[in-house]
Structure 1
């Protein structure tokens, strides 16, 4: 059975600046390097899923500019179906300003551009076209909230569609959207925004799982170097992260997790197994510079973690 993943979301060009430490307010610092790579949470997750062997279709918007041409070219090169992408006239392609520090941590500012031109009607058509297949629908929050709401509403009419919502960056979501999530994926900061208290460690994350679980079908909270926790019905668990040699760049590691998780769910793996593979993919990514360029093929992930990826 084919592993179908439909990703609705953002596509950006990332301007990545390598700098020693974050500048203080009013301070100017000199960067070591600046490079440009395709990015955007939606596009990143599409690439991560495709590299893990899923059949991926991407739904989004780019501008009619050179950045948009590059984003389209690179996603097509990954084997992703781009037939539902709209090229919007007189609007610039979304972009992200990414500062990567010597610690491997980053700070990101996103300018949505054409991503905010994505219309609910286009998304509804894309979701409806998946009728007759078992599809994992992947959503994030770098597009307008109405887009996710339309996608979830249409998915409820298409049997066999499983909704994965990565609520990043955090925005309030309706009870109807949350109720469809299987799973809702959050990092520690996003989980804290949702539950209203800090989530600094696995113990706090387990408490947050208990508070979030009644509102969703399943939930996952990623914990960086501590791995991830998950809950589905009465079952829950902690998946530790493998040791890494060095954290080179954490940019897009969460998207590597989500894309790999979605691919495994599309392959009909359990949520626990999908989380395990997602954690391994995110750990692989942080050892390499960039977002999409750091994502593993299935064979690379098996070699990295010393075990098969089912």
Structure 2
């Protein structure tokens, strides 16, 4: 696969601890659980790894805390072939506790720490020379200068539209949305937008919207084109953590490699489904060989 241009991922990194439990305990009840895994996580870090596994050329720009596990998180991503641009600042790296119920759905507890989004002054120091695409989620004020830098550099950019980033309405994010190549929305974000959510985003200048719809797959909508993709079987849900991040990173890698939105979305849906049938976020993501085998097996 042609790797295409470089993608700069700017955003969060966390230590994810996944606990599997049979049910939600009652008040003052002690419940024994199983730790499925502990690994690097974070919306943007996850997407960067998926992009790399899809054959892309990601650069991950993040700030971490100065705690003991920050270096090990970075080392894991570097070993996967991701170029890291980072610095340590005083404080705790983000920590996520993920509770997995028997049917595979998750409940997430997040301590943001200092690594949820880099600072404005550090983001402004980043070079976008040679960067073809920028991907981020608006978890901090530095998203505004970042997108302006992308505009000035002539780079495409995409946003993961997390529901927590527009609690008071989507209007405040309009300056970031105008001109965005793609905005990724999960079902909660679509519901929060209200009626005709995709058209709302297109009306604000977004070029295309990718809506992730759980087991129903995903859709790509632009002003002139629509594509739908779905997994043809009933997935065996084990853990849905990070599936949307996997889809976003894989989709970006495919688009930069010159594939059509339909082909890119189909591959991304299969990659996300593959991850849902395994425990954890990053440890569950497929590489190209694993995805090809998964696609072939699902079409028999």
TM-score (norm 1): 0.87
How many Å apart are 1:252 and its aligned residue? 0.8
The residue aligned with 2:147 is 152
Deviation per CA, 1:100-139: give whole Å up to 9, x if none.
Answer: 111000011221112246112322332xx232x3512111
1:294 aligns with 2:295: no
Match of 1:138 among 135, 140, 151: 135
How many Å apart are 1:151 and its aligned residue? 1.2
**Whole-Å separation in 2 of the counterparts to 1:117 and 1:93:** 11
Trace 1:262-277 onto structure 2 (pairs within 5 A). Answer: 262-277=252-267
Deviation per CA, 1:224-257: give whole Å up to 9, x if none.
Answer: 1100112112211321224255111111111110
Describe the SS at the equivalent of 1:28.
Answer: coil
Task: Give the direction of change, closer, same or farther, for the CA distance of 1:31–1:164 in structure 2 (3 Å limit).
Answer: farther
Unmatched 5+ residue regions in structure 2?
Answer: 167-171
Q: Is contact 1:244-1:287 (8 Å) kept?
A: no
How many Å apart are 1:303 and its aligned residue? 1.0
How many Å apart are 1:43 and its aligned residue? 1.0
Describe the SS at the equivalent of 2:279.
Answer: coil
Describe the SS at the equivalent of 1:192.
Answer: helix
**Whole-Å separation in 1 of the counterparts to 2:163 and 2:61:** 19
Trace 1:81-96 onto structure 2 (pairs within 5 A). Answer: 81-82=83-84, 84-89=85-90, 91-96=91-96
Task: Give the direction of change, closer, same or farther, for the CA distance of 1:226–1:116 in structure 2 (3 Å limit).
Answer: closer
How many Å apart are 1:260 and its aligned residue? 0.3
The residue aligned with 2:14 is 12
The residue aligned with 1:168 is 162
The residue aligned with 1:189 is 188
**Whole-Å separation in 2 of the counterparts to 1:75 and 1:281:** 18
**Whole-Å separation in 2 of the counterparts to 1:237 and 1:29:** 48
TM-score (norm 2): 0.90
1:285 aligns with 2:284: no
Task: Give the direction of change, closer, same or farther, for the CA distance of 1:10–1:164 in structure 2 (3 Å limit).
Answer: same
Unmatched 5+ residue regions in structure 1?
Answer: 198-206
Question: Following TM superposition, where does structure 1 have runs of at least 4 consecutive aligned residues deviating by more than 4 angstroms?
Answer: none
Match of 1:211 among 200, 205, 213: 200
Q: Is contact 1:8-1:137 (8 Å) kept?
A: yes
**Whole-Å separation in 1 of the counterparts to 2:227 and 2:213:** 13
The residue aligned with 2:169 is none
**Whole-Å separation in 2 of the counterparts to 1:280 and 1:148:** 30
Match of 1:63 among 62, 65, 68: 65
Q: How many residues were matched structurally? A: 288
